[in-house]
Amino acid sequence: QEYTLVKMRVVQPYPEKLKFAKKSLKNKPVFLVAATLRPETMYGQTNCWVHPDLEYVAFKLNDESIFVCSERAAKNMSYQGFTAKNGEFEIITKLKGQDILGAKLNAPLSFNDIIYTLPMLSIKPDKGTGVVTSVPSDSPDDYAALTDLKKKPAFREKYNITDEMVLPFEPIPIIEIPDFGNLCAVTVYDELKIQSQNDKEKLQIAKEKVYLKAFYEGILIVGEFKGQKVQDVKKALQKKLTDSKEAVIYYEPEKTIMSRSG
Contact set with ligand ZZB (CB under 6 A): 35-38, 41, 123-124, 127-128, 130, 132-133, 135, 138-139, 207, 210-211
Q: How far is CA 173 from CA 1, 51, 109, 211, in A?
A: 28, 26, 14, 16
DSSP E strands in 97-166: the ranges are 104-106, 115-119, 131-134
* Closest CB to ligand ZZB among residues 2, 163: 2
Shortest Cβ 211–ligand ZZB spacing (Å):
5
* Closest CB to ligand ZZB among residues 35, 233: 35
Shortest Cβ 137–ligand ZZB spacing (Å):
7
Cβ–Cβ < 8 Å for 166, 146 = yes
Name the 3-class secondary structure at 256.
helix
Shortest Cβ 191–ligand ZZB spacing (Å):
14
Residue 241 phi/psi, 5° resolution?
-70, -35
* Closest CB to ligand ZZB among residues 82, 143: 143
Shortest Cβ 227–ligand ZZB spacing (Å):
19
* Closest CB to ligand ZZB among residues 110, 133: 133
For residue 218, give every residue at least 6 positions away whose Cβ sits within 8 Å of its Cβ, in sequence order, or none. 175, 176, 177, 184, 229, 230
